[in-house]
A and B are shown apart, each in its own frame.
Chain A
């Protein structure tokens, strides 16, 4: 088998937010490899650090965030140490990002076509006339009806789905290598969500993009991803191929999350639930961070933090007792 080319290599990344109550370790020692051409999903619940990790890649973290250690290698270049001007060159051209709420990521005082055209003008020194024509073409490609007309409209006249399409158009005009999508469909209706996911998939194949998708929805993971990384309380607890994650999860948290998805349950039956809530990152539990909620907890878990190790081919897990965690107990 061909060895996959590593496009993005995150190593031992630690990020904390300075707050009045102390240092919140949002990302705490995360290492991760994303291969060229794949769709990698980061999945986890609110506050697990998945968005912080995503924002750190193009260095878009808010001012109170501090990177304590680690490196993010993109095509061999460390994004955390590269100069601002070089980074500016990469953003939008090589690394693009779309967000959950398309309204707040489009500028309300500029026409949509202008905003899309700005990207090739900046990166390819294209003339405005040419760039606007490219913008119209790209808006048409992402499924905006009458792109010529609509490119002259302002974002507020667009529906949520059309705004997200425009964002995608903007972010793909330069055919970047890496597209980071942070919950791109969470604010959208289910039929529109299906359309947007299909569009992302098509564009990925057409342009040979690598897609880093962040979501909390296991349905979306199953629909679009090649490999999955599960995050919990600032750490990656499991990395594996998508089928492996669904059929033979090895971390109790992954198993719990898949188990409590309502899909395969008999109507009105009790759902398996994970007790409690995710911990505060101000003062996370000792040892394994999942141990207070875990059904497989042992003394070792309280004392010692498990490392993320490859226990099967291409299947990494951070759990002392992964051997006891069987497959998913779907009751179908």
Chain B
């Protein structure tokens, strides 16, 4: 069953360069549609400025969308009443990249975790503390951490507290915005294991936002690749990693530094230059100035996100004819399951 359905979601940020200047818009999320089934993980990947964080915040209505629909369990999140919104807040959680800046430095762990309980349930103090300890144990901490301040915890422990806060109300959907990016490699593995454990224990649905494709591959069932506010490719993990159809996806996969010295001289799909400013995206296909496969059509017309194979959506004029299999053959042991 689909827990989350997003239809043509847009979020434009307005800004002016001077007092009397004309209004301009940054189209951070520009017509994004997807759905996530209950208990699965959607990995959202893209480089900085692709709109992936804005997307995560918008689907939880932490920022208001400009237009589009967000159906959560069948009801439209964009039109909820105050009471319904409170209920929606209880069924969702979010974990941010930097655990230290997402925890209030003046609150103890107990107070941080007590906050959602105070707002959303009328339990007494004793049962609240009991629930907090239970949740702390679930994320690999214990009662001894209750009275600590965030700065007394290591980065990994801070992120565990942030995860505890996100799951303490037993939500259905958790948005994870780069939850392991600021952590050390050995701690990253611990946190990824924890997230996967929690997911299978509570049938959680994740939207996992990351720039690290290998992490996305490890945790996700479906992958959505974003570029300058648009979805360029969307399919199952297996499809995206073994048979990418969009040149941008292929070049992202080629750019991953692979931890195997034998693969150094492998073939790669190149990408030219740097991402353009989202303020003034290129006409036609937004990727065409960097794309080694661009043809005239790409400059003129914006490609639609179309289904090419079953459940494999690609927004590229040449999706039918391009194949990147030969480029990725060397990396197969890393990219396939």
Say whether A associates with B. yes
Q: Which residues of A contact B (CB under 8 A)?
A: 45-46, 145, 159, 161-162, 189-195, 197, 216-223, 225, 242-243, 246, 256-258, 260-268, 270-275, 277-278, 332
In the complex, what residues of B have CB within 8 A of residue A161's CB? 274
How far is B185's CA from A225's CA once the two chains are assembled, in angstroms?
Answer: 19
Q: Is the CB of B211 within 8 A of A189?
A: yes
B242 to chain A, nearest CB (A): 12
Q: Is the CB of A268 within 8 A of B196?
A: yes
Assess A263 versus B255: contact at CB under 8 Å? Given A45-B185, A268-B219.
no
In the complex, what residues of B have CB within 8 A of residue A274's CB? 186, 189
Q: Is the CB of A191 within 8 A of B257?
A: no
Q: A191-B271, A263-B260 are in contact. List 20 more A-B contacts (CB 8 A).
A: A45-B184, A161-B274, A189-B48, A190-B211, A216-B185, A219-B259, A223-B261, A225-B261, A257-B185, A257-B186, A261-B259, A263-B214, A266-B337, A267-B218, A268-B219, A273-B193, A274-B186, A274-B189, A277-B154, A277-B156
Q: Say yes or no for B85: interface residue by CB 8 A criterion.
A: no
**In the complex, which residue of chain B has the Cβ closest to the Cβ of A278?**
B184
B259 touches which one: A46, A258, A270 (CB < 8 A)?
Answer: A258
B256 to chain A, nearest CB (A): 6
How far is B287's CA from A191's CA once the two chains are assembled, in angstroms?
Answer: 13
B312 to chain A, nearest CB (A): 18
How far is B190's CA from A256's CA once the two chains are assembled, in angstroms?
Answer: 12
Using a Cβ–Cβ cut-off of 8 Å, how many residues does chain B contribute to the interface with A? 47
How far is B215's CA from A6's CA once the two chains are assembled, in angstroms?
Answer: 39
How far is B218's CA from A113's CA once the two chains are assembled, in angstroms?
Answer: 44
Q: Is the CB of B47 within 8 A of A243?
A: no
In the complex, what residues of A have CB within 8 A of residue B333's CB? 264, 332
In the complex, what residues of B have CB within 8 A of residue A273's CB? 186, 189-190, 193
Assess A222 versus B261: contact at CB under 8 Å? Given A189-B47, A191-B251, A277-B156.
yes
Q: Is the CB of B184 within 8 A of A216?
A: yes
The 9 closest A-B pairs by CB, nearest first: A219-B257, A260-B189, A194-B255, A189-B47, A45-B184, A271-B189, A274-B186, A273-B189, A218-B259
How far is B264's CA from A197's CA once the two chains are assembled, in angstroms?
Answer: 12
Q: Name 27 A/B residue pairs within 8 A (Cβ), A-sorted.
A: A45-B185, A46-B184, A189-B275, A190-B252, A191-B251, A194-B254, A220-B257, A223-B257, A223-B258, A223-B261, A225-B261, A243-B262, A246-B261, A258-B259, A262-B214, A262-B218, A263-B258, A264-B259, A265-B218, A267-B220, A268-B218, A271-B192, A271-B193, A271-B218, A273-B190, A277-B156, A277-B186
Q: Is the CB of B257 within 8 A of A45?
A: no
Q: Which of B273-317 contact A (CB under 8 A)?
A: 273-275
A170 to chain B, nearest CB (A): 19
**In the complex, which residue of chain A has the Cβ closest to the Cβ of B237?**
A267
B181 to chain A, nearest CB (A): 10
In the complex, what residues of A have CB within 8 A of residue B48's CB? 189
B337 to chain A, nearest CB (A): 5
A109 to chain B, nearest CB (A): 22
Q: Say yes or no for B107: interface residue by CB 8 A criterion.
A: no
Q: Say yes or no for B188: interface residue by CB 8 A criterion.
A: yes
How far is B260's CA from A261's CA once the two chains are assembled, in angstroms?
Answer: 11
**In the complex, which residue of chain A has the Cβ closest to the Cβ of B199?**
A268
How far is B334's CA from A332's CA once the two chains are assembled, in angstroms?
Answer: 9
A190 touches which one: B187, B213, B217, B259 (CB < 8 A)?
Answer: B213
How far is B193's CA from A274's CA once the two chains are assembled, in angstroms?
Answer: 12
Q: Is the CB of B47 within 8 A of A190?
A: yes
A221 touches which one: B218, B259, B274 (CB < 8 A)?
Answer: B259
Assess A264 versus B334: contact at CB under 8 Å? Given A219-B257, A223-B257, A256-B186.
yes
A181 to chain B, nearest CB (A): 14
A143 to chain B, nearest CB (A): 9
**In the complex, which residue of chain B has the Cβ closest to the Cβ of A47?**
B184
How far is B261's CA from A243's CA once the two chains are assembled, in angstroms?
Answer: 6
Q: Is the CB of B189 within 8 A of A263?
A: no
Assess A263 versus B334: contact at CB under 8 Å? Given A219-B258, A219-B259.
yes
**In the complex, which residue of chain A has the Cβ closest to the Cβ of B46?**
A189
**In the complex, which residue of chain B has the Cβ closest to the Cβ of A280?**
B154
A222 touches which one: B187, B258, B274, B275 (CB < 8 A)?
Answer: B258
How far is B253's CA from A200's CA once the two chains are assembled, in angstroms?
Answer: 20
A190 to chain B, nearest CB (A): 5
Assess A267 versus B215: contact at CB under 8 Å? Given A219-B259, A243-B261.
no
**In the complex, which residue of chain A has the Cβ closest to the Cβ of B50?**
A189
How far is B108's CA from A231's CA once the two chains are assembled, in angstroms?
Answer: 34
In the complex, what residues of B have CB within 8 A of residue A277's CB? 154, 156-157, 186-187
How far is B212's CA from A216's CA once the two chains are assembled, in angstroms?
Answer: 14
In the complex, what residues of A have CB within 8 A of residue B185's CB? 45, 216-218, 257, 260-261
**In the complex, which residue of chain A has the Cβ closest to the Cβ of B186?**
A274
In the complex, what residues of A have CB within 8 A of residue B154's CB? 277
A332 to chain B, nearest CB (A): 5
In the complex, what residues of A have CB within 8 A of residue B237's CB? 267
In the complex, what residues of B have CB within 8 A of residue A194's CB? 254-255, 257, 268
